[in-house]
Amino acid sequence: MKETKQKDIIIVGAGMAGLTAALYAARTNCSVLVLENAIVGGQIANAAGIENYPGLPNVMGSTLIETVQGQAEKYGAEVDEFDPIERVDLAAQPKTVETESVIYEAKAVIIATGMERRKLPLPEAPRYEGRGVHYCELCDGHLYEGKTIVVAGGGNAAVDAANYLVRHAKHLYLIHRSAFRADAASVERLRANENVTILLETEIKALKGKGRLASITVLDKKTGEERDIPVDGIFVNIGVVAQTKLFEGQVALGETGRIAAGEDCRTNVPGVFAAGDIREKEVRQLTTAASDGTTAAILAAKYIEREG
């Protein structure tokens, strides 16, 4: 039989929003537990260099996350990594969050599960995962020293990945099906590298290779021409998917599938808050994730105090 434990605030997700929430909630003298089903830090932990976080001109994502986690733990927050949640009941009083080993009861819950990278939408893509198809440039980029690398995508994440990977690559292709969505400074930095070829208005139609990825077939959408490009690896940055499956039917979702919550981070369920990229909002940056975490934690503590 599983042990039952009580906490004031449970935070689901240990990215920037979740860890910031843990820091602020712990400072209110609430008992705080952060549950993370994968690695602490989420996507930002893999960022090679963050240049737009105020006060830190250039910082590794892992360093930033470790610092915030340390601050939260200093004030008593617990961070439980690799502990998948099996079930939640957010309408219950107290609210229930059940993991593989423990049933937690909480007075308030902050959802900060963030996003997951969208998979390459080709039927053969799963066959090449780890064999030429990758979703983490910081984890696997070093495997392609002196090789030909492709980055798929045109947003900031893709361009930042390309700017990081080009240091390893003999040649790098950035391929995107439409125009750039990344900021101009990052794009210009990439364009300035002579080992980079940028193919916009271009789709990846197929992956080829025996055992490992050896080439890709691309379609020029303007000319209708298809051709094969020999490559050693492809790093995919084509968007993200909201991690809301666990909460479907328990909190209201917005049009994009994220959790409907305003700038106060309150959901439609009393005592349940949403923070970071999982929240329905227009701007998603590290700074806004930290802001959401701050707001959610302070208002969760006030909710607990008000409810007695």
Contacts of 174 (CB under 8 A, 6+ apart): 150, 151, 153, 154, 158, 159, 162, 190, 196, 197, 198, 199
Domain boundary among 195, 217, 236: 236
Residues 96 and 123 in one domain: no
Return d(Cα 187, Cα 46) in angstroms, integer: 20
The per-residue pLDDT for 139 is 74
Residues 98 and 125 in one domain: no
The per-residue pLDDT for 48 is 65
The CATH number given to whatever domain includes residue 171 is: 3.50.50.60
Residues 61 and 203 in one domain: no
Residues 107 and 21 in one domain: yes
pLDDT, tens digit only, all 308 positions of the chain: 899 999 999 999 999 999 999 999 999 999 999 999 888 987 777 676 777 889 998 888 889 999 999 999 999 999 998 888 999 999 999 999 999 999 999 999 999 999 888 899 999 999 999 899 998 887 788 899 999 999 999 999 899 999 999 999 999 999 999 999 999 999 999 999 999 999 999 999 999 999 999 999 999 999 999 999 999 999 999 988 889 999 999 999 998 889 999 999 999 999 999 999 999 998 888 999 999 999 999 999 999 999 97
Residues 230 and 260 in one domain: no
Catalytic-residue membership of 265: no
Residues 39 and 94 in one domain: yes
Q: Which of these is catalytic: 139, 183, 228, 264? A: 139
Question: Could you give the number of structural domains in the chain?
Answer: 2
The per-residue pLDDT for 41 is 87
Helix (H), strand (E), coil (C) string for the chain = CCEEEEEEEEEECCCHHHHHHHHHHHCCCCCEEEEECCCCCHHHHHCCCECCECCECCECHHHHHHHHHHHHHHCCCEEEECCCEEEEECCCCCEEEEECCEEEEEEEEEECCCEEECCCCCCCHHHHECCCEECCHHHHHHHHCCCEEEEECCCHHHHHHHHHHCCCCCEEEEECCCCCCCCHHHHHHHHCCCCEEEECCEEEEEEECCCCCCEEEEEECCCCCEEEEECCEEEECCCEEECCHHHCCCCCECCCCCECCCCCCECCCCCEEECHHHECCCCCCHHHHHHHHHHHHHHHHHHHHHHC
The per-residue pLDDT for 140 is 84
Catalytic-residue membership of 139: yes
Q: Which of these is catalytic: 8, 80, 89, 140? A: 140
Residues 213 and 260 in one domain: no
Residues 110 and 250 in one domain: yes
Catalytic-residue membership of 136: yes
The per-residue pLDDT for 142 is 86
pTM: 0.77
Q: Which of these is catalytic: 80, 83, 136, 220? A: 136
Report the largest interatomic distance among the alpha carbons of the chain, rounded to a whole angstrom. Answer: 67
Residues 225 and 181 in one domain: yes
Domain interval for residue 225: 119-236
Residues 19 and 125 in one domain: no
The per-residue pLDDT for 127 is 95
Residues 36 and 145 in one domain: no
Domain boundary among 173, 206, 236: 236
CA 52, distance to chain mean position in Å, is 17
The per-residue pLDDT for 306 is 95
Tally the C-alpha atoms within 13 A of residue 189's C-alpha that lie toward its C-beta: 15
Return d(Cα 205, Cα 131) in angstroms, integer: 18
Residues 227 and 266 in one domain: no
The per-residue pLDDT for 283 is 87
Assigned token pair, 207: 């992956």
